[in-house]
Structure 1
Amino acid sequence: MQILDPASSLSRLLRLVGLIAVVSSSASAELWHRPWVGALVVLSWLGWAGWLASPLQSALERISLSAMAIGGGLTVTQTAGSAISALAAVFIAISLVTEPLWFGPLLALGTTVLMGVSILLGGTGRALLGLMVGAVVIGLAGWSRRQGRAVAERNRLLVEQNRIIRAERDRAAALAERGRIARDIHDVLAHTLGGLVLQLDAADALLEAGEVDRAAERVKASHELAVSGLADARRVVGALRSERFDTAAELRRVIDEHRSAGGVLAERVDIAVNPANEQVAVALTRSVQEALTNARKHAPGQPVTLSLRDSAGQVEALISNPVAVHRLSLGGTGSGAGLLGMRERIEAAGGTLAARKEGDRWTVRILLPQK
């Protein structure tokens, strides 16, 4: 079922009322004694009726307004209805933003000329000035109306553009959040599962050697690592989002987990690491965690050094380990997106990351703003 626009319905009703008023004020028996006058009056009626029925931005609308101007302008001295039709045509043609800018002034000029001809032929020259002034006033009113409609349309377009911009901004924020969550999930899985593989491999080797107690310790450490990974996953999905991110405590936990997974780590912290920006704090912690996981994966048993210091107002984290001589089976696991995810996370937080081989060591250098 088609729903009618209330504003459009009211406009049609007002046009119908205007047509009735023009016809009733022009329907005089004296008009029909001069056929040409009657024909022009009827032309103005037909123009009004066509305007009543015409859709916007159509040829019928322009033809109808032209008929109102011609029929009403040439008989303006004969009936009041003709004057109404002529002046209404001027006002409507100028005020319509759906019509070209040239159409309104051209029709207004033509209507004014036709009214002048009608007045001069009718022998009532004193009324010429009054009608000319009236046409100018009506034209200015129509122009004001057109400008008001144009401003309203621009405002509507601005509101629509703002709505689209807000929707795109929300979509971009949602995509950025999804990317952040994906990076966090990757870090958690890489850290936890990589550590579990190392611990369980060690436990299996100890069991084969008959060292049951030490193997049990490795299994217990694996359980603690799994519990910690589960807690990290809950943080990622927002279960702990309302809590303040404690950078120092998180870094200490990451370091302890690395050591409990069998990693050897020498740490040096020259500053109190506690960035005010949570995004910076999370990026630093997760990147250090990923770097330590990669060190255990690609160079297990090799000593890793971690240093944190102030570098020109920035937090500098340096993680370094010797490069493994032989390629290990665990080093071939994973999607290879860890380093890419680290770089994306660091750059999103306003920092830089450089990872490369320096001599016989693999070095990851991270720079992040303190605030």
Structure 2
Amino acid sequence: MYHRIDPVLPVIVGFLQVFLTMGAQYWQLRNPDLGRAPLTWWGYALLLVGPLALALRRRAPVAALVVTLIATSVYLLLDFAYGPVFLSQIIVVFNAVMSGHRRTAWLSSGAFFLFVIAYATWFIPHRASLFHHTAVAAYLLLTLTVAEFYRMRRERLAERERVAREEARRQASEERLTMAQELHDVLAHNISLIHVQASTALHILDDHPEQARTALSTIKQASKDVLTEMRGVLSLLRDGAPRSPIAGMAHLSDLAERSGLRVTLEVTGQERPLPAGIDRAGYRIVQESLTNVSRHAPGSRVTVRVAYAAEEVTVTIEDDGAGTARAEAGLGSGNGIPGMRERAAALGGSLTAGPRPGGGFRVEARLPLPPSTDQKEPN
């Protein structure tokens, strides 16, 4: 990846190394026992090698590290003023760790430490003390430790951001799947209803025109409903767009009237508002069940029972199978009952479906309810 050269840091570090070394030289030359030599053009050049290498620290972090350490070592061997020259080295070691070259940074720092021990033992007039060696080791370890700390912190932040992006992607995928399921349910129910009613209207148009008019009215209402529901589902794609609350248990009576079937709705227990997921799932299960009756046993009598209990709501749909109209071939998708089971299972519930002993078909869904917040604890 291309990295542009940032000249600001090299200029600042070069300025500090040159002028701070000049200040250090003033005091170190006054002590002949230190054995320091005055700066020459070689010394100034070596002081600027490290800052120049910093300009390439992003493009070539290992090369910048090696060049800086070599220049610092040569500078020490020439006995110039001791101290400020290490500023560049701190930065390149830190940069090498942060850029992922941890082993190189640790090995090169260890090699430099051994060089300093040898230099302070055999190449200066007075052998350095144990305190000097400990201070050099501490300076190198502190640089490496701080660099490792910031590297781990940056990796944790990057991992946190990655997890957040993955979670956002997962939620978006779940929302798309939910929308696809909603659209499937809306279209399957209403298109099946329109098909059945259109077939009925064509069949009785000549002999019973008034009944055909009723079927056409049902088709008109069903087409309006499917447009309204699709608009509500697709509005989720637009921020702040309101969604019509038509897919809920409170609208089962409207659903029964629009189905074109002879539906009896029975509600037992204390009727109350349900969580959005359970409310929508119960409605869709009833809708899919009525769609299946329209497909496979049109004209049958259907009973929808909703039983509210403290811990669950039970939805039961039964038809007598005694349809007065002919079932339309080619309408079954094969996904109705599995889809209903998936809805119930996703909420921690269950769904059973199968023929009734006396004829017809029965679907029963049990959807668990969260504990009611308005229930009072016993004294």
Letter in 2 for 1:113: A
Quick one: which of 11, 31, 50 aligns to 1:13? 11
- Structure 1: gaps of 5 or more residues: 31-36
Pairwise CA RMSD of aligned residues? 3.8
How many angstroms does 1:42 deviate by?
Answer: 8.7
Quick one: which of 110, 116, 121 aligns to 2:115? 110
User: Is the Cα–Cα contact under 8 Å of residues 229 and 244 in structure 2 kept in the other structure?
Assistant: no
How many angstroms does 1:186 deviate by?
Answer: 1.6
Q: Distance in 1 between matches of 2:156 and 2:68?
A: 33
| Post-superposition CA distance 1:196-254 (Å, at most 9, x none) | 22222222222222x22232222223222322333222332238845666844311111
In the other structure, the counterpart of 1:33 is none
**Partner SS state of residue 315, structure 1:** strand
How many angstroms does 1:287 deviate by?
Answer: 1.4
In the other structure, the counterpart of 2:216 is 219
In the other structure, the counterpart of 1:170 is 168
Q: Distance in 1 between matches of 2:91 and 2:226?
A: 73
User: Is the Cα–Cα contact under 8 Å of residues 274 and 281 in structure 1 kept in the other structure?
Assistant: no
**Partner SS state of residue 235, structure 2:** coil
Quick one: which of 199, 202, 224 aligns to 1:201? 199
Letter in 2 for 1:61: L
Letter in 1 for 2:296: H
Query: Which has more helix, going by share of residues?
Result: 1
Aligned residues: 342
In the other structure, the counterpart of 2:253 is 252
| Post-superposition CA distance 1:263-320 (Å, at most 9, x none) | 2334332124444311210111011111111111111122223222246711111222
Letter in 2 for 1:104: S
The worse-fitting range, judged by mean Cα deviation, of 333-342 and 274-283 is 333-342
Q: Distance in 2 between matches of 1:118 and 1:163?
A: 52
Quick one: which of 292, 296, 299 aligns to 2:297? 299
Letter in 1 for 2:285: S
In the other structure, the counterpart of 2:367 is 368
- Matching of residues 1-371 of structure 1 within 5 Å: 4=4, 8-17=6-15, 20-21=18-19, 50-54=49-53, 55-56=56-57, 57-59=61-63, 61-62=65-66, 64-69=68-73, 71-72=75-76, 74-76=77-79, 79-80=80-81, 84-85=84-85, 91=90, 95=94, 97=97, 98=101, 99-119=104-124, 122=125, 124=126, 128-129=128-129, 133-134=131-132, 136-209=134-207, 211-238=208-235, 241=242, 247-258=248-259, 261=260, 263-310=261-308, 313-322=311-320, 330-357=328-355, 359=357, 360-371=359-370
**Partner SS state of residue 172, structure 1:** helix
| Post-superposition CA distance 1:350-371 (Å, at most 9, x none) | 3322333454443222121223
Letter in 1 for 2:116: T
User: Is the Cα–Cα contact under 8 Å of residues 90 and 139 in structure 1 kept in the other structure?
Assistant: no
Change (3 A) 1:203 1:83: closer
Q: TM-score, normalised by structure 2?
A: 0.74
User: Is the Cα–Cα contact under 8 Å of residues 23 and 45 in structure 1 kept in the other structure?
Assistant: no
Q: Distance in 1 between matches of 2:247 and 2:189?
A: 19
In the other structure, the counterpart of 1:34 is none
Change (3 A) 1:64 1:156: closer
In the other structure, the counterpart of 2:375 is none
How many angstroms does 1:4 deviate by?
Answer: 3.6
Q: TM-score, normalised by structure 1?
A: 0.76
How many angstroms does 1:70 deviate by?
Answer: 5.2
The worse-fitting range, judged by mean Cα deviation, of 15-24 and 358-367 is 15-24
